[in-house]
Amino acid sequence: MKYSGWPDPGELVVGRVEEIEDFGVFVDLVEYEDREGLSHISEVASGWIKNVRDHVSEDQRVVAKVLDVDTSAQQIDLSLKDVNDHQRKDKIQEWKNEQKADNWMELAFGEDVDEDTYTAVANALLAEFGSMYDGFEQAAIHGHEALEESDLSEDRIDAIVETARENVSVPYVTVTGYVDLTSAAPDGVEVIREALEAAEGNGAVPEEVELEVTYVGSPEYRIRVKAPDYKTAESHLEESADRAAANIEAAGGEATFHRDRRSDEE
């Protein structure tokens, strides 16, 4: 996605060196529609510069700081030297993330997504999360819950969540479910204890997965799974509930799995 309008003074922008002159460097601002900036030779690098080409080359990707914007003159003044390595790295990563998000938008709504749809969804994600990438990432982690406060329709939320969970890699995700366990057997307490041990995996849960079963309020128990990705977490959550159900049902008890908390107690 390219922004319309103009960048703000002080903003960091990603650009491509388009033309090099003795007096400075013309930079195509790749994040903005039809915008070009100029970094005067004094702003290309610190110290005395004998040859601008010793510091930049044509088609080089750069990060620049916007010094001034004159919309009437169609002029944007840039500084390359006022950007440190940390800022440069972070800005490039941010730009790459938004390129990924742009691709996910096409996956979610089609390669020929119309401009109105794209703009509406992009604006909603920007307003709620600050960037499209963060919006997709939160959708991958929290599903529909992440977008329920947005102005997006259910169909659009469904498309975003489905695309996010298939394409977004996040450090980890946490999913939660609840299982109700009941037993009328004389040794019902022991039956439920064994079902809970089965739910916890009896030591068979992979090292990269954290699975925790906790008491909520009779007869409800919480299963919380933390895993590197959504599919893995969801799979282990369902398997945990299935193990508990199989164990207690074999002893004549009953089990019911649900995603929403039912007990009044925390």
Joined tokens for residue 104: 């996910």
Cite the residue boundaries of each domain of the chain with CATH code 3.30.70.1130.
173-258
pTM above 0.75, yes or no: no
Domain 173-258: what homologous superfamily? EIF_2_alpha (3.30.70.1130)
| Confidence at residue 218, expressed as pLDDT on a 0 to 100 scale | 84
Task: Spell out the per-residue pLDDT of the chain, length 266, in tens.
Answer: 677 899 999 999 999 999 999 999 999 999 999 999 999 999 999 999 999 999 999 999 999 999 999 999 999 999 999 999 999 999 999 999 999 999 999 999 998 889 899 999 999 999 999 999 999 998 988 888 889 889 899 999 999 999 998 998 877 888 999 999 999 999 999 999 999 999 998 777 887 789 999 999 889 999 999 988 888 899 999 999 999 999 999 999 999 999 876 654 44
Joined tokens for residue 44: 């290309």
Task: State how far the Cα of 177 lies from the Cα of 180, in Å rounded to an integer.
Answer: 10
Joined tokens for residue 227: 């895993």
Task: State how far the Cα of 20 lies from the Cα of 17, in Å rounded to an integer.
Answer: 7
Cite the residue boundaries of each domain of the chain with CATH code 2.40.50.140.
12-83
Q: What is the CATH number of domain 86-167?
A: 1.10.150.190
Domain 12-83 part of CATH 2.40.50.140: yes
Joined tokens for residue 235: 């799979």
Query: How many helices and strands (H and E) does the chain possess?
Result: 6, 9
CB contact set of 163 (below 8 Å; sequence gap of 6+)? 104, 107, 108, 136
Task: State how far the Cα of 223 lies from the Cα of 101, in Å rounded to an integer.
Answer: 32
Cite the residue boundaries of each domain of the chain with CATH code 1.10.150.190.
86-167
